[in-house]
Amino acid sequence: MASVESEEQVPQVQNSVDEDTNNKAEKLNNKTKSTNTKKKRKKNNSNPTHLIVMVNGLIGSAENWKYAAKQFLKKYPYDAIVHCSESNSSKLTFDGVDVTGDRLAEEVISVIKRHPNVQKISFIAHSLGGLIARYAIAKLYEQDISKELSQGNEHCESQISKQECHDRKYEGKIAGLEPINFITSATPHLGCRGHKQVPLFGGFRSLEKAASRFSWFLGKTGKHLFLTDDKNGKPPLLLQMVSDSEDIKFMSALRSFKRRVAYANIRYDQLVGWSTSSIRRRNELPKRRHLKRHEKYPHIVNEETAKPTSVLEEVPSKSKVSCGSCKIDLEEEMIQGLTTVSWDRVDVSFSGSRQKYLAHNAIQVQTYSINSDGADVVQHMIDDFRL
């Protein structure tokens, strides 16, 4: 992206000192010219191969990712295409996780057709967008059968770890591309029905139950978020999304990514709780007194890489899960399913910031003028991004 600088003529002089100075200046000038020419050639011949899809949340739009998209392009000007999804904006986000996920999948296919050189794909999603993206990648997932058939159990056990063998079994493509990063920020992976999953209700169970009864206010999406869509003997959609079925491979699609990251606000996010956004049980949340601010990223207070709960543990299938009057803990089922793949967890705190009560949007820098304190979180996302 660098521009070619104009060359200055070095004056010719008689004495040897000036001649030596002139020679050094000329060499430096030629080196600068060569470097700029290479940069210009690289720019002109640039064919980005990594598609980054950014997905907005409830009542959001592509504009919500404007700041982050600009920062990603600054870091990877020749390597990445950043596409801020436009298929689910404003009230369209009320149509349900499945409908919005289908729209996103179709949009991704159309973007890929416009950029035939792309080889890799990553998703970065905020809030509800994380659930929409999880549904979309399942629709776009294509299992690489050739790799599975070529890897026998004996070879796996003798050459690599069981975990790596298991992960390779699920290698596949997303819309024909190699899946690399799947990143969510403030996403209610466990829904909003559980205790304290929506901090706005203050932990009052009466308010939480009332919210479930009025989930229809957010359309079909509200029913999905509050797990009130268990009709006709089928589990709620979010519970279905922690398992594979014959028709759609939710977990295989998620597992196909090289890395999965969950950014979560530990406080002041009034819409999405720490537990649901970091995919942890409440007793697994780090003690706040042990959290320490990062020197480079002041609002990052904790990072951890968690391994899957079990190497070859199957995710519960729809046929194994009953609903209606069942006593099963839906939240626990979702945690068990989602943690059969590894997640990097990044805990964020805007405590002390004047923008702390806007934490849900600040973690994304949704509007720079009022959410700028989250810029270090976006930078952390960029610096840890696997190209």
Residue 143 forms beta bridges with which residues? Answer: 172
Say if residue 74 is exposed, middle or buried (CB neighbours under 10 Å; 0-12, 13-18, 19+): exposed
pLDDT greater than 50 at residue 309? yes
Query: Distances in Å between the alpha carbon of 130 and those of 137, 174, 177, 184, 284?
Result: 11, 16, 19, 5, 22
Provide the pLDDT for residue 193. Answer: 75
Tell me what the mean pLDDT of segment 52-57 comes to.
99
Find the mean pLDDT for residues 59-76. 98
> For the chain, what are the domain ranges?
48-191+244-320+329-383
What percent of the chain stands above pLDDT 90? 64
Token pair of 144 as six digits: 């690489």
Could you give the CA distance from residue 23 to residue 12 in angstroms, rounded to a whole number?
10
Neighbouring C-alpha atoms within 13 Å toward the C-beta of 309? 15
Integer Cα distance of 359 and 327 in angstroms? 35
Q: Kindly tell me if the per-residue pLDDT of 277 is higher than 90.
A: yes
**Given a cut of 60, is residue 297 above it in pLDDT?**
yes
Kindly report whether the global pTM for this prediction surpasses the value 0.85. no
What does the pLDDT look like over 77-113, one tens digit per residue? 999 999 999 999 999 999 999 999 999 999 999 999 9
User: In the CATH hierarchy, which fold is given to the domain comprising 48-191+244-320+329-383?
Assistant: Rossmann fold (3.40.50)
Q: What is the pLDDT of residue 111?
A: 98
* Residue 162 token pair: 């069981």
pLDDT score for 290: 87
- Which residues, 6 or more positions from 100, have their beta carbon under 8 angstroms from its beta carbon? 87, 88, 92, 93, 132, 135, 221
Q: Is residue 69 within 8 Å of 376, Cβ to Cβ?
A: no
- Write the single-letter amino acid at 237: L
CB atoms inside a 10 Å sphere around CB 319: 8
- What is the Cα 56 distance to its own chain's centre? 11
162-203 pLDDT, tens digit per residue, is: 555 555 555 799 999 999 999 999 999 999 876 556 665 555
**Distance from C-alpha of 134 to C-alpha of 253, rounded to nearest angstrom:** 8
Q: Is the pLDDT higher at 158 or at 289?
A: 289
Provide the pLDDT for residue 221.
93
Specify the amino acid at residue 381. M
CA dihedral (337, 341, 342, 345) positive or negative = negative
Q: What is the mean pLDDT of residues 3-22?
A: 43
Q: What is the residue-averaged pLDDT of the chain?
A: 82
Q: How much is the pLDDT for 2?
A: 37
Between the ranges 44-58, 159-173, 218-232, 235-249, where is the mean pLDDT highest?
A: 235-249
The answer to whether the beta carbons of residues 108 and 136 sit under 8 Å apart is yes
* pLDDT at 307 exceeding the cut of 80: no
Residues 148-159 as b/e (b if ≥16 CB within 10 A, e otherwise) read: eeebeeeebeee
CB under 8 Å to 211, separation ≥6 — which residues?
A: 192, 198, 201, 226
